[in-house]
Amino acid sequence: MIFTIAEIGQAHEGSLGMAHAYIDAVAKTGATAIKFQTHIAQAESSIHEPFRVRFSTQDKTRFDYWKRMEFTPEQWKELGAHCAEVGLTFISSPFSNAAVDVLEAADVQQYKIGSGEVSNFLLLKKVVETNKPIIISSGMSSYAELDDTVNFLKEHKTDFSLLQCTTSYPTQPKQYGLNVIQELKDRYQVPVGFSDHSAEVATGIAAVALGATLLEFHVVFSKAQFGPDVSSSLTLEETTQLVAGANAIAEALQHPVDKHSNNAFSDLKAIFEKSLAVNKALPKGHVLTFDDLEAKKPKGFGIDAKEFRTVIGSKLKHDLKAWDFVTENDIEHE
């Protein structure tokens, strides 16, 4: 099975009740894990942060937005416990060392490092010390930067995986970078997945077909709702389709078909393949032509249809009625 991660991000809009509702909803999709983002505004940001400020009429600054997205340490514990109750792996992306402390107290099971934090070795060191699996998003990173991060993680004997990701919302087909999945596998020899912002079911399924063993994708209740990631997200119904499709493709890849052998289809071939017949009444001594012949099911009642060339130009030994099969006993070869 593919490790499928439904990313809630800030789709809860700072509502604890909404966050819990997402946990229950994601559990019904068949996804393996649910992922949040743990923000502590004072620790990670300032009023000078310019990223996507104007998307919201509710928040004057991005700092205000992060403040609104905060949950208390106790609330994070409640969210973590809820994930465990419904069988979802609890993952979150910390954006500060302080957030790691909160998540550790909440029994987070895995960490996701967002693409903007890949070179934040202060945060990486804090996360590495938890000894929990880490998922690294490569969205904003060059190979040179990834080399440094991967070397750091390997030096610390960290259990980690990488995600091909394009930091564009929503991602367009020419930006997917599906080719990078195999490049990452070859370069780093670790599990590689795909973090998707396309809002399309097909993208994740394609990634699995190309070797991704993890899939991360944003999820929302409705694409009509408010929020910066809505246009890059799947609905819960689409999530169910993606999880089922991705797992089906993964199963298919585990069972390669041998086209050198078709023994499994022997019975069906006998039914669907055809025997030669004549398409009109023909007298004894008639010389068969292409226009005299038809192919009829099943195989084995006459000469195989694929052997039609061997009967053209042959004489009939006796009369044949329309639609009679043609056997070796019916013809004289010149």
Q: What residue ranges in the chain does DSSP mark as E strands?
A: 3-9, 33-38, 89-94, 110-113, 134-137, 160-165, 192-196, 214-219, 233-234, 275-278, 293-296, 315-316, 331-332
CA-to-CA distance for 175 and 275, rounded, in angstroms?
Answer: 53
pLDDT in tens, 255-292: 999 999 888 888 888 889 999 999 999 999 999 999 99
Instruction: Give me the mean pLDDT over the 231-248 stretch.
Output: 96
In the structure, what pLDDT confidence band is assigned to residue 54 with cuts at 50, 70 and 90? Answer: low
CB 124 within 8 A of CB 151: no
pLDDT in tens, 162-198: 999 987 888 899 999 999 999 999 999 999 999 999 9
If residue 147 lies in a helix (H) or strand (E), which one and from where to where? helix 143-155
Cα-based angle 5, 43, 164 (whole degrees, multiple of 5): 30
Kindly calculate the radius of gyration of the chain based on its CA atoms and give it in whole angstroms. Answer: 31
What are the structural domains, with CATH classification, of the chain?
Answer: 3-253 (3.20.20.70), 263-332 (3.90.1210.10)
